[in-house]
Each structure stands twice: as structure tokens, then as C-alpha cells.
Amino acid sequence: MEYQTLLVEVGADKIATVTINRPKAMNSFNTPMLREFAQLWAALQNDDAVSVIVLRAAEGRAFSTGADVKASGDDAVVDYSRPFDQRDPGEFLGPKSNRCWKPVIGAVHGLCCAGAFYWVSECDFVICSDDAEFFDPHVTYGLVAAIEPIGLTYRIPYGEVMRMVLLGNDERMSAKTALRIGLVTEIVDGHEPLWQRAQQLAARIALKPAIALQGSVKAVWESQDLPRYAALAQSMKNPMLGNPIAQATLDRDALLASVKQFEVR
């Protein structure tokens, strides 16, 4: 498909690189982008040539500043004249919300705020550049911060979420703090090295059986809304379904013979 707001590249290495591409609007999302992401996640889930996805944004000051508040007409994200017709933008933007179970690595640079957390919350893990800054300005502008911070409570401690929410525009979380609290797993110096590192990690993941990857993502993600015992009981179906298919794609003896020195992070 051709996209207006996204750049999508699928390589021979089974990595799909998805770039949020509205740099003149700080990579904010509008209604066309919502529609394109919903189509994209379905397409990637159904594409056997894709095992791993890297989600990044076009070069500029921001990974994304969330919803495009300047958009109007058909591009506007929220139509306040039709309150009961509105849907959560995250239903369109997030891979898990669209039942895409392929691993997604987020590569965040620059400003990342408000609606950008729809993506951050549904990535399987996130790395960032040293200039990344995370914040939520909703309350500063008299807006209730609800959906995005609730999503974040599944990734980082409640107190860290609420500090971000309540301070609004008065404080920005640095890359170092994001690493300390577990919002990101790694900091990389510079934008280009960030994107290269994301590709490097994705390439290693893509070498593993696709069904094992997807089953693992699905099992762990779906467990988050359940009590521990129910989560463990429900998760059992995923290896029972996925393991026979995944293991059939491996030469186990060759794999064991090729074991090398493990990398320590």
C-alpha cells in the first residue's frame, strides 16, 4: 500500500521499518494517520515476510507530540460535535490494539509526549536517543489526562506516571530517568546510531522462529489484565499451539552446535 503519513520498508531480513512521517507537524497524528496505522498493523500481521517491526519517526525535534491539535475538518482527531461517535485513537495506533503480535521495537528520539504514549505503551520494548524527553502536557492546557497515562501504568510505577501527569509542561523526563524507571531499556547517542541499533536488535530477533516470537508476545501481553493464577492458566495454550510449529522450523542439533559466547548487557 501507499501511505500519506507513514514510510514503510520491508527488508529481506524480515524486518519492517515503520516511520511516522509528518515532520513538519512534529510527527503528530491526524485522522488519516489513524486509518493508515489500522490498515498497516493488519497488513504486517498477515505478511509472512515480516517477523519483527521497528517503529521510529522522521528526523526532527520530535518522535511525536501526540494528536495534531491544529488539524481541522476531516483531518481532526476529535469531533466535539459528535461526542458519542468518538473512539479512542489508541484503537487505531497501537499494534496490540489491532492484534498484531509481531515484536515491535520502539526507537524514540527528541520530544515524546501525550498521544505518543499510545505507541510507547504498546511497543514490546523501547530504546531512545540521549536527547529524548518524555512529558504529558494535558493538564497544563486544562485537559484531563486519562487514556495515555493509564496505558503507561502497565509499564512504569504509578507515582512516575502521576508525576508526569500532574506536573504537565513544568517538567520533562530525561532519557536517563526513563532508563532508570524502565520506560526505555537502552540509551543511544544520536539519532542515526539509535536507528542503527534498533535495526541491529531487530535483526537478531528476526532470526528466531516467527511463531515462537508471536506466541511469546501474545501470551505475555494478554496476561497483563488477569490475576496471576488466571494469567498462568490462560498462557498455557500458547506454547501448546505454537511450539510444534516453531520447533519444526529449527534444526535443533545445528542450533546447539552453533552456540557462541553470549552478549552481556
Per-residue model confidence as pLDDT tens digits over 22-46:
999 999 999 999 999 999 999 999 9
Alpha-carbon distances, residue 223 vs 53, 219, 238, 249 (angstroms): 22, 6, 11, 27
pLDDT (average), residues 219-223:
96
**Which pLDDT band, with edges at 50, 70 and 90, does 252 fall under?**
confident
Q: Are strands 173-174 and 133-135 parallel, antiparallel or unpaired?
A: antiparallel
- The verdict on 215 and 178 lying in the same domain is no
> Which residues neighbour 102 within 8 Å (Cβ) at sequence distance 6 or greater?
44, 45, 50, 51, 52, 53, 95, 210, 213, 214, 217
The three grid cell numbers given for residue 227, joined into one nine-digit string: 490475576
pTM above the 0.85 mark?
yes
Does position 70 have pLDDT exceeding 90, yes or no?
Answer: no
- The verdict on 232 and 202 lying in the same domain is no
Give me the domain span that covers residue 157. 6-206
- The verdict on 219 and 163 lying in the same domain is no
- The verdict on 202 and 216 lying in the same domain is no
- Per cent of the chain over pLDDT 70 is 98
In this structure, are residues 107 and 193 in contact, taking their beta carbons and an 8 Å threshold? no
Residue 150, domain CATH: 3.90.226.10
- The verdict on 202 and 123 lying in the same domain is yes
In a domain, 1, yes or no: no
**Checking phi first, is residue 114 left (phi over 0); if not, alpha (psi -120 to 50) or beta?**
left
For position 13, what pLDDT does the model report? 95
In a domain, 263, yes or no: no
In a domain, 152, yes or no: yes
In a domain, 262, yes or no: no
In a domain, 11, yes or no: yes
For position 260, what pLDDT does the model report? 66
- 3-state SS, residue 220: helix
H-only helix segments in the chain: 31-45, 90-93, 117-122, 147-152, 158-167, 175-181, 191-206, 210-223, 228-235, 237-248, 252-257
In a domain, 71, yes or no: yes
In the Cβ-directed half-sphere of 39, how many Cα atoms lie within 13 Å?
13
For position 261, what pLDDT does the model report? 63
- The verdict on 70 and 167 lying in the same domain is yes
- The verdict on 63 and 176 lying in the same domain is yes
